[in-house]
Amino acid sequence: MAIETVGRNTEAGATGPTHSHGGVVRALFAGEFPAWAFFPHPAPVDLAAAEDSRRDGPVVGFCRVMELRSLDPEGEGWRTVAERVAGADAFADRPGLARVLAASWGLGLAQARLAAAVAKVRGDERLARSPRAGAALARLAAGSYALRASTVAAASWLDRGVADAVDTAFLGPFVSRIDAPAIHDETTDEALDLLAAGGLGDADPSPGGAGPSAPFWPTLAAHIRRSLARSASPPRVPVATPMLRPFGEALSRRTSHLGRVVERIGARDRHDESFRDRVALAAVELIASACTLARLDAASARPDEQAVAELFLHESGRRFDEALRSIARDPDREAVEAGRLVLRRSPRT
């Protein structure tokens, strides 16, 4: 598998620059991951289908077709799975089941691709020092982590018994059929450690550095230009319904904001487990909002159903804002420092 910087998915009807966007979840909406990274061959849907050219990234495209095509590897639809494992009534919450299946489908393939990339970089010292390979590996690791977190969050929307039934009848057999390197939870951490050992793939500006040489000031100027370009062009979230476009614009801004915050703080705290947890909380809210928005935009919902979905979008956006603030504030570190201060001031016993 070639490791390369992937631009926007123009075949899916998207337009825009081909440079890397970076960040944790921006790739999921702006088409940084090609469609085949999320859809097996043959794909369950043609992303360039004429009936809907609004798709601009695997997450949005995936959610748009959740109820149009079967996701069961044996060719059975979700209704058949529901009737076989727990009865149709147990799956009355279609959005909940769709979230579980979408997140798990993307997670399995993303982690498989990440595992293959890690193995390739570990076996090639030149690749391990390459800025291009480092950027691609960082996007894969970040996207895999965010998807893993979203899978856990999506499963929490279903009753425990229903979630276990889905896992037994669908997710387990599906993951076992993936023709890819072994998938395990440590793949993301291994990729991050590999990036740290290689200086995150950055070009080494020092004349005697072991990495690829690059003039310092031109490299810095190019980085600033790319950062400004990313800030000025947030990823496009395609929404056809006029009343829902403000939600799409808000989702675009929040996705862009999360990318900037993670890029700024991640260089310092990327190995801090609590930092990863806080990033995952924010990413989960974005992914859940995107799935809900895409489904609401595609469906002709009744007024009461639409009101509930809009309320969820409002609440999800509010929770994301809180999660984003906690990334920079680091409440765990503040609590530890406060505890130490109390201990220092307490009388000795």
DSSP conformation class of 13: T
Peptide bond into 42 cis (omega under 30): yes
Distance CA 111, CA 144 (A): 6
213: β partners: 204
Q: Tell me what pLDDT residue 250 has.
A: 83
Structural domain contains residue 240:
yes
Task: Tell me if 4 is assigned to some domain.
Answer: no
Query: Which pLDDT belongs to residue 150?
Result: 53
Q: Which position has the token pair 């794909």?
A: 43
Q: Quote the CA–CA distance of 244 and 249 in Å, as a whole number.
A: 9
pLDDT for 120 equals: 73
In-domain check, residue 1? no
Give the integer Cα–Cα distance in Å for 237 and 303: 23
Confirm whether 15 is domain-assigned: yes
For residue 344, the one-letter residue type is R
pTM for this prediction: 0.34
CB burial of 282-314 (b: ≥16 within 10 Å; e: otherwise) equals bbbbbbbbbbbbbbbbbeeeeeeebeebbebbe
* Residue 319, pLDDT score: 74
Cα dihedral 86, 90, 95, 96, rounded to 10, equals -80
278 domain-assigned? yes
List the pLDDT tens digit at each of the 349 positions of the chain: 222 222 333 333 333 323 222 333 333 443 333 333 333 333 333 333 333 333 334 344 444 433 333 333 344 443 444 444 344 343 444 445 555 555 555 565 566 666 667 777 777 777 666 666 666 666 666 556 555 555 555 554 455 554 455 455 444 443 443 333 333 345 555 555 555 554 433 333 333 333 344 455 555 566 556 656 655 666 666 677 788 788 878 877 777 777 667 666 655 655 566 666 676 667 666 666 766 676 666 654 455 555 556 666 676 777 777 777 777 766 556 566 666 665 665 555 4
Query: Is 55 within the bounds of a domain?
Result: yes
Q: How far apart are CA 2 and CA 170, in angstroms?
A: 30
Beta bridge partners of 204: 213
CA–CA dist 41, 28 (Å, integer): 19
Please identify which residue in the block is written with the tokens 């193995």: 119
Tokens, residue 127:
């690749």
User: Is residue 2 situated within a structural domain?
Assistant: no
- The confidence score (pLDDT) of residue 135 equals 64
For 226-235, what is each residue's pLDDT tens digit?
A: 656 655 666 6
Residues sharing a CB contact under 8 Å with residue 249, sequence separation 6 or more, in sequence order = 237
CA dihedral for 149, 246, 15, 21, sign (positive or negative): negative
Q: ∠ at Cα 149 (144, 69), nearest 5°?
A: 75
Element holding 277 (H helix, E strand): helix 273-298
What is the residue range of 204's domain?
Answer: 10-217+232-345
Rounded Cα–Cα distance for residues 55 and 81 (Å):
27
Overall domain count for the chain: 1
The Cα 166–Cα 88 span in angstroms is: 12
Amino acid at 286: L
